[in-house]
């Protein structure tokens, strides 16, 4: 089940970036579960990774290899290679070496990524056997196949494609992501891969990605869990005819805004596909002292199981939202200054239930598939938005049966 229309878009080819998939039969044989992405030589590559202390073996290897001018990404679904100790590290390194042998490259220029069940040994033999097929399928038009190959409990493939203009020349920006559960990113999404043909140096590309991730993937939550395998990569082939993007230029701002917009669309798609989700909620916190304060209040509301189950039931139980605001750690909050809205329906003002609020008005909003919760703290000018979904019976079922 997904909230809203979630069809896969037409993806513009990104010159210098090719993608190939194959089925290794890691957990299923219905669809491809191996993805290889190849970058043209002299490409730039930036990445951000999970802050989970138990980060997966491929995260460690990808971090180490990022400094070696990466040329290839190797992604598998169905197995996270997390919680696998030293053997997991050796397995991640082995798959890099196996791909390097197939493409006649260096293992240190391969970034590995895995997603799936934690704690199971990575089936290195199955992955190795599928690599030649994946490499033989490398093509600029395989974005849809790539998005499907990285899915786990996702119900639909997630992709975004944009073309912007820089000094009269086209620059393409594509992105795919996967994620539906264990979503409370603390750097990026479960797995996200973006590519552009822009000319931009690695350091500036890294800065651009970090800023975009902070305003997108780090503003969503499905269930409050941060994965061991979170990673987001931005590749730049430099094949566009547009001039090189430099720090502080107007061209950089155009590019950075477009990258952030792509990240936001991908992040929203993850929330729409939240495991068992029936509603999408935008938590908008206004009049906070700082952005950090606004995000903290928004996430406290979004993480609350009581709030999320009330939305699943379409129950305008606004006391649960108010309680979440109250325990968000806002110092010296003046209760009489706080206002709370469901869409344009004011629920709380002057420290209590709004005089003109009616249960019927609240119920009408709660019956919607998409709902905006607005909290006005009356303390400052900072505004931030957090996206989340409801918590349903189906979420429990999916995760109770995840390994069966």
Q: Which residues are catalytic, by number?
A: 189
For residues 391 and 176, what is the distance between their CA atoms, to the nearest angstrom? 25
For residues 260 and 238, what is the distance between their CA atoms, to the nearest angstrom? 19
Q: Nearest Cα to 123, choosing from 240, 29, 241? A: 29
Q: Nearest Cα to 311, choosing from 356, 276, 286? A: 276
For residues 378 and 338, what is the distance between their CA atoms, to the nearest angstrom? 6
Q: Nearest Cα to 21, choosing from 121, 125, 124, 141? A: 141
Helix (H) or strand (E) run with residue 394 in it? helix 393-400
∠ CA(37), CA(38), CA(41), 5° rounding? Answer: 155
What b-and-e string marks burial along 387-400, b requiring 16 or more CB atoms within 10 Å of the CB?
A: bbbbbbeebeeebe
**Residue 25, CB half-sphere, CA atoms under 13 Å: how many?**
4
For residues 371 and 358, what is the distance between their CA atoms, to the nearest angstrom? 17
Q: Nearest Cα to 281, choosing from 180, 189, 368? A: 368
- 331 contacts 355 by C-beta, under 8 angstroms: no
User: Taking the alpha carbons of 240, 189, 132, 106 in that order, is the dihedral positive or negative?
Assistant: positive
Cα–Cα distances in angstroms (integers) from residue 159 to residues 143, 175, 250, 282, in the given order? 8, 6, 27, 21
In three-state secondary structure terms, 9 is coil
């Amino acid at each position: 089940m997904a909230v809203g229309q979630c069809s896969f878009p037409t993806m513009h080819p990104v010159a210098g970036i090719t993608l190939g998939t194959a089925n290794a039969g890691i957990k299923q044989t219905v669809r491809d579960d191996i993805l290889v992405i190849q970058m043209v030589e002299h490409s730039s590559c930036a990445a951000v990774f999970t802050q989970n202390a138990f980060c997966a073996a491929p995260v460690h290897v990808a971090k180490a290899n990022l400094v070696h001018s990466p040329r290839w990404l190797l992604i598998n679904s169905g197995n996270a290679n997390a919680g696998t100790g030293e053997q997991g590290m050796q397995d991640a390194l082995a798959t890099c070496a196996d791909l390097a042998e197939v493409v006649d490259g260096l293992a240190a220029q391969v970034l590995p990524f895995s997603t799936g069940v934690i704690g199971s040994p990575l089936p290195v033999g199955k992955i190795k056997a599928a690599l030649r097929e994946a490499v033989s399928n490398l093509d600029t038009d395989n974005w849809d196949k790539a998005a499907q190959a990285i899915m786990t409990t996702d119900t639909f493939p997630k992709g975004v494609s944009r073309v912007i203009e820089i000094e009269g020349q086209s620059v393409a920006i594509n992105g795919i992501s996967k994620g539906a559960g264990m979503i409370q990113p603390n750097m990026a999404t479960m797995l996200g891969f973006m590519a552009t043909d822009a000319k931009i140096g690695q350091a500036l590309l890294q800065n651009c990605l970090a800023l975009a991730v902070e305003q997108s993937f780090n503003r969503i939550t499905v269930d409050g869990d941060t994965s061991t395998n979170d990673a987001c990569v931005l590749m730049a082939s430099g094949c566009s005819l547009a001039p090189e993007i430099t720090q502080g230029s107007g061209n950089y701002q155009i590019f950075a805004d477009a990258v952030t917009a792509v990240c936001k669309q991908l992040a929203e798609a993850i929330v729409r596909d939240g495991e068992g989700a029936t509603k999408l909620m935008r938590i908008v916190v206004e009049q906070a002292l700082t952005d950090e304060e606004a995000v903290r209040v928004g996430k406290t509301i979004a993480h609350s199981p009581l709030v999320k189950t009330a939305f699943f039931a379409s129950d305008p139980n606004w006391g649960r939202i108010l309680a979440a605001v109250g325990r968000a750690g806002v110092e010296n909050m003046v209760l009489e200054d706080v206002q709370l809205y469901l869409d344009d329906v004011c629920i709380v003002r002057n420290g209590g239930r709004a005089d003109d609020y009616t249960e019927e008005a609240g119920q009408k909003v709660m019956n919607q598939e998409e709902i905006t919760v607005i909290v006005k703290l009356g303390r400052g000018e900072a505004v931030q938005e957090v996206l989340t979904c409801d918590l349903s019976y189906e979420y429990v079922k999916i995760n109770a049966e995840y390994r069966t």
